[in-house]
Amino acid sequence: MLELEDSDSILFWNEWDIASLVPEHAGRWRAVHRDGMVAHRPTAPPPGPWLPTGPGMVLPQLLRTGPLGTQDPNGFLFPDAPLDPVPEPEPLPDIEGIPCRRREIYGLMKHKQLGCLWKTDRGDVIWKRPRAPKAAELMPELVMLKRGFYVNRNRIWRIRHDYFTYFVVLDNGETYKVSKQTKELADRLGYPNLLHLEPYCPAFYGNYGLRDWPFELASAGPEMLRKLFDNPRQLIGHLIYQRLRYRQLGIQQDWPDSYRGFWYAWVKHTLYHAGFIEGDQLDLELPEFAEQIRGRTPSPTEKMYNLMFQVFDFFVQENRLFTYEEFGFVEPHPEFRRIGTVRPEVILLTEKTAYQERALKLHDEFGCSLRMLSSQPPLVATEFFARALKPHLKGSVRLIAYVDYDVGGWIIARAFAKQLEFCGIPVASVEFLIRGETFTAAERRKHAKPLAMSTPAHRTKAEMWFAETNGVDGKMLGIQADHVQPYERLRGLFETLVNAHLPDK
């Protein structure tokens, strides 16, 4: 038996029922059953009856010849596959003392009066002697599911689960419920758990159920798409994964190199064909980053666009399934970053395009690194910035944020620091160039503005920021950074902050 898995089950397939085994991504292997089912395992399979071909292995007698060449039952092509069948082994020898042929027995049950009940493909058979525990010893493949009941482990097809229960499904469709509290069942079957194989990757085996397809999803018809995908999140996930796999396999396409390009060329029309976008929403122009939609009620298409960003975040940030560079994205606005020539480990971060001219002056004069933003920091840009910065570092970095003295500015700075850490750059400190005490009393009276608190989420963030900073003169107020004038004043603040952390000579 070969252990595999899907979104809610561990599968147990006879090796001689597996037509093909092919490595996919991140060490995972794809298996195709003789009936066309697809399942996976997170590690390479042990040796079996399969013959090597191309990147994977096949069982020739389970392949078929189609118009495009040799295919497995799911339609994956194997143009150089061997066609001579592999001889199958003899079945296990029968055993004296059991009521029928060994392979016909799928269960054994204790019977109170008459010894035991053998469950066979020909029907139930009562056998007086020996009683169930002794009878189970005659067949080593019998394993106890619960007290007094055994199943033939070679007949287990899958073990699926819900919150409370395991469902042990045999190859004849017989299904038995076992409480998840029965911890010993996994031990008796020889597995650490019955929820998933190790190592576990929720991006593969969770609600997305990622897999390779023998056809291009973006070119599939509406009927096929609606049959395969019942929610837009899953479809977007598969479109993203298929593009990654095509690039890895060297399948040439005119790949878009940005979020927007991928949306317009790859995702939008596929969601439309699947019924997740209405036709009158197809031509809606969208911004480059999802953050630019915030602050207003999004349209249905903008919600799908936002959803695409969320799926990318799940794959890249939460599960580290791939990087944006591996996916084929190029750096958005490479002109918005500089690597320092004197102090590369000091990173000056700007929040708004209005601050960029001054930030460039500070970069030129002090030789610090520079990252300029126009909104929330996109991880795709941070990934490229971190890759360029790493060769110039010997340790951690200092992040000096030239942002507004308010909730949004501080959130942006810390979000960028978190992204740097994610990209492998340790951040020793996050320091803020503009603070409440930066301004004179007259400036505070003139320029301070109330914090946004129109929603419970805004209020919570504002209260957290106020608890840390005390706002402006103890009030829930903030001040924009561009009120620090002239440039020489800003330069003096930056020089003081940088030199405060320089080591003594």
Q: What is the CATH number of the domain that holds 392?
A: 3.40.1360.10
* Domain annotation covers residue 182: yes
Cβ–Cβ < 8 Å for 315, 321: yes
Tell me: do 22 and 87 sit in the same domain.
yes
3-class DSSP assignment, residue 478: strand
First-to-last alpha carbon distance for the chain, in angstroms, is: 69
Q: What whole-number distance in Å separates Cα of residue 417 and Cα of residue 430?
A: 7
- Give the span between the Cα atoms of 341 and 376, in whole angstroms: 26
Q: What's the CA gap between 391 and 91, in Å, rounded?
A: 61
The two structure tokens encoding residue 298: 């999004």
Cα distances (Å, whole numbers) of residue 329 to 5, 92, 256, 267: 31, 54, 8, 15
Predicted confidence at residue 500, as pLDDT, reads: 84
In this structure, the answer to whether residues 319 and 262 fall within a common structural domain is yes
Could you tell me if residue 22 is inside a domain? Answer: yes
pTM: predicted TM-score of the whole model, two decimal places: 0.83
| Same domain assignment for residues 266 and 374 | no
Q: Assess whether 123 and 28 both reside in one domain.
A: no
The verdict on 363 and 445 lying in the same domain is yes
Task: Examine residue 387 and state whether it is found in any structural domain, yes or no.
Answer: yes
Q: Identify whether residues 346 and 409 lie together within a single domain.
A: yes
The reply to whether 150 falls in a domain is no
Report cis status (omega within 30 of 0) of the bond before 85.
no
Residue range(s) defining the domain that contains residue 84: 1-91+158-198
Distance CA 445, CA 466 (A): 18
- Do 353 and 487 lie in a common domain? yes
Same domain, 68 and 188: yes
- Distance of alpha carbon 419 from alpha carbon 377, whole angstroms: 8
Residue 503 has a pLDDT of 56
One domain for residues 401 and 441: yes
- Asked whether residue 207 is domain-assigned, the answer is no
Question: Do the domain assignments include residue 151?
Answer: no
Regions of the chain where pLDDT drops below 70:
129, 281-282, 284, 286-296, 502-505
pLDDT value of position 502: 64
Does the residue 505 lie in any domain? Answer: no
Predicted local distance difference test score (pLDDT) of residue 193: 87
149 within some domain: no
pLDDT at 412: 94
Give the count of domains, the chain. Answer: 4
Chain centroid offset of residue 388 CA: 25
Pull the structure tokens for residue 253.
């396409």
Give yes or no: residues 83 and 104 share one domain: no
* Amino acid 195: pLDDT: 87
Do 386 and 417 fall into the same domain? Answer: yes
Calpha distance 403→355 (Å, rounded): 9
Which of 269, 301, 327 finishes a domain? 327
